[in-house]
Amino acid sequence: MTIGLDMMGGDFAPLEAVKGTFEYLQEENSSAFLILIGDEAGLNPLVAEYKIPKDKIKIVHADEVIDMHEHPTKALKEKQRSSIAIGFHLLASGKIDAFISAGNTGAMLVGALFSIKALEGVLRPTISTIIPKENGGTGLLLDVGLNADCKPEQLNQFAVMGSVFAQTILGIENPRVGLLNVGEEEGKGNILCQATFPMLKENKHINFIGNVEGRDVFIDKADVMVCEGFTGNIILKLAESLYDITQRKKIQHDYFDRFNFENYGGTPVLGVNKPVIIGHGISQARSFKNMIALAQKMIEKNVMQRMKDELV
Amino acid sequence: MTIGLDMMGGDFAPLEAVKGTFEYLQEENSSAFLILIGDEAGLNPLVAEYKIPKDKIKIVHADEVIDMHEHPTKALKEKQRSSIAIGFHLLASGKIDAFISAGNTGAMLVGALFSIKALEGVLRPTISTIIPKENGGTGLLLDVGLNADCKPEQLNQFAVMGSVFAQTILGIENPRVGLLNVGEEEGKGNILCQATFPMLKENKHINFIGNVEGRDVFIDKADVMVCEGFTGNIILKLAESLYDITQRKKIQHDYFDRFNFENYGGTPVLGVNKPVIIGHGISQARSFKNMIALAQKMIEKNVMQRMKDELV
> What is the tens place of the pLDDT at every residue in B87-122?
999 999 999 999 999 999 999 999 999 999 899 999
Residues of B in contact with A137 (CB under 8 A): none
Residue B47 included in any domain: yes
CB pairs under 8 A between A and B: 119
Residue B307 included in any domain: no
Residues of A in contact with B253 (CB under 8 A): 249, 251
Residues of A in contact with B249 (CB under 8 A): 134, 253, 255
Mean pLDDT across B157-168: 98
Mean pLDDT across B179-191: 95
| pLDDT tier at B36, thresholds 50, 70, 90 | very high
**Residues A30 and A131 reside in one and the same domain:** no
Nearest CA to B264 out of B294, B231, B238, B241 is that of B294
Residues of B in contact with A190 (CB under 8 A): 148-149, 228, 230
> What is the tens place of the pLDDT at every residue in B214-271?
999 999 999 999 999 999 999 999 999 999 999 999 998 999 989 887 777 789 999 9
Residue A26 included in any domain: yes
Answer whether A5's CB lies under 8 Å from A292's CB. yes
Mean pLDDT across A128-141: 95
Residue A178 included in any domain: yes
Is A181 strand, coil or helix?
A: coil
Which chain A residue's Cα is nearest to B149? Answer: A190
* Residue among A129, A147, A182 with most chain B CBs within 10 A, to mutate: A182
Of A215, A230, A241, the CB nearest to B182: A230
| Pairwise CA distance, residues B225 & A196, whole Å | 28
| Pairwise CA distance, residues A309 & B180, whole Å | 37
Contact with chain B for residue A256, Cβ under 8 A: yes
| Pairwise CA distance, residues B246 & B256, whole Å | 7
pLDDT of A262 over the 80 cut: no
Q: What pLDDT score was predicted for residue A144?
A: 95
B 153-182 → A contacts, CB under 8 A: 180, 182
* Residue among B219, B220, B231, B246 with most chain A CBs within 10 A, to mutate: B231
Q: How many angstroms separate the CA of residue A57 from the nearest CA in chain B? A: 38
Q: How many angstroms separate the CA of residue A79 from the nearest CA in chain B? A: 24
| Pairwise CA distance, residues A234 & B141, whole Å | 13
Report the DSSP beta bridge partners of residue A127: A269
Residue A209 included in any domain: yes
| Pairwise CA distance, residues B4 & B91, whole Å | 8
**Residues B113 and B138 reside in one and the same domain:** no
**Residues A257 and A131 reside in one and the same domain:** yes
pLDDT of B86 over the 80 cut: yes
Of A148, A190, A217, the CB nearest to B148: A190
Contact with chain A for residue B237, Cβ under 8 A: yes
Q: What pLDDT score was predicted for residue B294?
A: 95
Is A249 strand, coil or helix?
A: coil
Contact with chain B for residue A184, Cβ under 8 A: no
DSSP-derived secondary structure letter, A97: S
Mean pLDDT across A253-271: 87
Name the strand (E) or helix (H) holding A21: helix A15-26
Of A145, A180, A244, the CB nearest to B234: A180
Contact with chain B for residue A253, Cβ under 8 A: yes
> What is the tens place of the pLDDT at every residue in A16-37?
999 999 999 999 999 999 999 9
**Residues A135 and A171 reside in one and the same domain:** yes
**Residues B114 and B129 reside in one and the same domain:** no
Q: What pLDDT score was predicted for residue A33?
A: 98
> What percentage of chain A reaches a pLDDT higher than 90?
91
Mean pLDDT across A51-57: 96
* Residue among B230, B245, B248 with most chain A CBs within 10 A, to mutate: B230
Contact with chain B for residue A240, Cβ under 8 A: yes
pLDDT, mean over chain B: 95
Q: What pLDDT score was predicted for residue A35?
A: 98
Number of domains in chain A: 2
Q: How many CB atoms lie within 10 A of CB B49?
A: 11
Residue B16 included in any domain: yes
Which chain A residue's Cα is nearest to B191? Answer: A149
pLDDT of B213 over the 90 cut: yes
Contact with chain B for residue A190, Cβ under 8 A: yes
Residue A311 included in any domain: no
pLDDT of B292 over the 80 cut: yes
**Residues B111 and B69 reside in one and the same domain:** yes
Mean pLDDT across A190-215: 98
| Pairwise CA distance, residues A126 & A141, whole Å | 11
pLDDT of A263 over the 80 cut: no
Contact with chain B for residue A220, Cβ under 8 A: no
**Residues B209 and B238 reside in one and the same domain:** yes
**Residues B128 and B226 reside in one and the same domain:** yes
CA end-to-end span of chain A: 27
| pLDDT tier at A81, thresholds 50, 70, 90 | very high
Mean pLDDT across A63-83: 94
**Residues A44 and A127 reside in one and the same domain:** no
| pLDDT tier at B3, thresholds 50, 70, 90 | very high
Residues of A in contact with B248 (CB under 8 A): 134
Helices A303-311, A152-168: crossing angle, 10 deg rounding: 140
| pLDDT tier at A214, thresholds 50, 70, 90 | very high
Contact with chain A for residue B136, Cβ under 8 A: no
**Residues A40 and A19 reside in one and the same domain:** yes
**Residues A47 and A108 reside in one and the same domain:** yes
**Domain coverage including residue A279:** 1-122+271-302
ipTM of the complex: 0.93
Q: Output the domain CATH number for residue B63.
A: 3.40.718.10
Residue B311 included in any domain: no
Q: How many angstroms separate the CA of residue A22 from the nearest CA in chain B? A: 33
pTM (global) more than 0.90: yes
Q: How many angstroms separate the CA of residue B11 from the nearest CA in chain A? A: 20
Note whether A182 contacts B215, CB cutoff 8 Å.
Answer: no
Name the strand (E) or helix (H) holding A169: none
Note whether A218 contacts B245, CB cutoff 8 Å.
Answer: yes
**Residues A280 and A197 reside in one and the same domain:** no
